[in-house]
Amino acid sequence: MANSENMIICRCEEVTYGQLRTTVDKHKCTARELKLRTRAGMGFCGGRTCRPTLDRVLDSFIPNFSPSEIPLKYQPPIRPVSFGRIGEIHD
């Protein structure tokens, strides 16, 4: 890709490859710190869309990065609701 700096890694938070790289270079941060500083993987989808790409990018930026060592957890985008709660009748 000719302009990889502007390539969006996390669509929900609109975090680009360049923002991730700049943050790692400036703060020498871990994967968790990078996520907290840029909000990559913390959007509406909870990292379900960008997580594999984000892990590969982190692997190229952070030496000795292992996704299993620093878990960047997935979070469901909504809370579960029981059918009983949905079917309640309010007068």
Average pLDDT over residues 21-45: 85
Report how far Cα 7 is from the mean position of its chain's Cα atoms.
15
Compare 31 and 43 and report the one with higher pLDDT: 43
pTM exceeds 0.85 for this model: no
Q: How many CA atoms lie within 13 A of 11 on its CB side?
A: 5
Closest by CA position to 17, among listed 3, 28, 5: 5
Compare 74 and 90 and report the one with higher pLDDT: 90
Q: What is the CATH number of domain 4-86?
A: 1.10.10.1100
Average pLDDT over residues 14-33: 87
Domain ranges of the chain: 4-86
**For residues 72 and 41, what is the distance between their CA atoms, to the nearest angstrom?**
8
Q: Which residues have a Cβ under 8 Å from the Cβ of 53 and sit 6 or more positions away?
A: 9
